[in-house]
Amino acid sequence: MRTLNRRALLASGGLLAGCTSRGRAAFEAMPPLVPIRARADRIFDIAVCLRPFRAAGPRLDAERVGNTLVVHNYGHGGSGWSLSWGSSAVAVRKAMASSPREVAVIGCGILGLTSAILAQRAGAKVTIYAREQLPQTRSARATGAWTPDSRIALADAAPPAFAALWEEMARTAFKMHRNYLGLAGDPVEWTDFYSVVTDQPSNSGSAPAQALDFAEYHRSIADLLPKARRLSPDAAPFRAAAVYRSENMIFNIADYGHTLLNDFLLAGGQIRHAHFHAPSQIAALGKSVAIDCTGYGARALWKDETVTPVRGQIARLIPQPAVRYGLSYRHVFIVPRRDGIVVQAVEGGDMKGFGDANETIDRAEADRAVATLAELFSPEHWRGTLPATA
């Protein structure tokens, strides 16, 4: 397993990889780590996102609404940020087939912004029409990890050609994200992730939901990320049955979103406040082409009952500049963003929140997740050494 596939990571409690020939584990040394200050009083933000899941995968077809060609670009489940550039490249190709001078983009989440920027680069004058700009959208409530096949489709519902299309989108997006590495604010960066496997039972008393067969495509892009490695028990920062280290890209959403907004505006883009209740309102804009990036909002706008909400909640701890690693431990997932250390409870894996449209914040869920994280840094489990600058 080469990619950081959160599904497999959570199903087994860790990344069960890093084996060499003859069945012997491949151990790897680790750098010094700074412990995360996991306390409930350090939670400064809790947000809930409804991810738009479609069993057949994202909607990327086109239709006529009056005199407007509408190209759809929504329904990416938990993979919107990860696939954004690749999916938007597909949508923009269709939108620009007739070489329109102007293009309207509906929605200002991550798919809306990447579609708008790519349409600009293809030569169109672009206006985004949206009720909210990126910091207020559901896109801004994502975890920020590169997980391109997280709830992207169901294995038995996606069309046969989708696997190849997904790979194209994932590889395109990965290549585009590399352009944002090393910029001020670290909009995109590489980081280590540790999967800590224990023999402890789950801290949740609820029965797991019946699992759906979600499509998994990550093996087709296994060459993009380094393979996970098992750490030597003597050198691992945590006392556990096994500890694995992998590497992945993350998105520091505040800086990344600000960078994209600036790129769009500096290229002459405009943003207009609008709230659409019916497709006819898109046609009334008078544009020959529009790209529909309304995410979960497409369920109501297009009466698209194929869009299923998947509720996800994240809590953010006050940032620690020296914490540059992520974690998976007892169904708690950590992403070390610069705008706050993201803590997400993922008990139940992909079925957690499936079909749940409730956007009410659950403080108790956040507190339990942070308390579980705190266990990992107690003397019972933590043996990490601190660098001199900790």
pLDDT in tens, 297-318: 999 999 999 999 999 999 999 9
Residue-level pLDDT at 205: 47
Statement: residue 58 has pLDDT above 50: yes
At 30, the pLDDT band (50, 70, 90 cuts) reads low
Angstrom distance (rounded) from CA 283 to CA 287: 7
Predicted local distance difference test score (pLDDT) of residue 209: 56
Lowest mean pLDDT among 4-13, 24-33, 61-70: 4-13
Q: Which is more confidently placed, 357 or 24? A: 357
Instruction: Kindly state the average pLDDT of the residues 171-180.
Output: 97
Indicate the residue type of 117: I
Q: What is the pTM of this model?
A: 0.89
Candidate ranges 129-138, 163-172, 236-245; pick with highest mean pLDDT: 163-172
- b/e map 172-190, b = 16+ CB within 10 Å: bbbebbeebeeeeebbbbe
Phi and psi of 64, rounded to 5°?
A: -95, 130
Helix (H, G, I), strand (E, B) or coil at 264: helix
243-261 confidence digits (pLDDT tens): 999 999 999 999 999 999 9
Could you give the C-alpha distances from 168 to 55, 126, 303, in angstroms and in order? 19, 25, 29
Residue 234: C-alpha distances to residues 25, 193, 259 (Å): 14, 18, 42
- Say what angle helices 253-266 and 110-121 make with each other, to 10 degrees: 30
Longest dimension (CA), the chain: 68
Q: 3-state DSSP call for residue 333?
A: strand
Q: How far apart are the first and last CA of the chain?
A: 32
Residue 143 is predicted with a pLDDT of: 95
Mean pLDDT estimate for the chain: 89
pLDDT score recorded for residue 348: 84
pLDDT of residue 32: 77
Query: In which band, very low, low, confident or very high, does the pLDDT at 41 lie, cut at 50, 70 and 90?
Result: very high
pLDDT tens digits along 66-107: 999 999 999 999 999 999 999 999 999 999 999 999 999 999
Instruction: List the structure tokens of 36.
Output: 């995360």
pLDDT tens digit string along 250-295?
A: 999 999 999 999 999 999 999 999 999 999 999 999 999 999 999 9
pLDDT in tens, 187-227: 999 999 999 998 765 554 454 556 899 999 999 999 999 99
Q: Are 62 and 94 in contact (CB under 8 A)?
A: yes
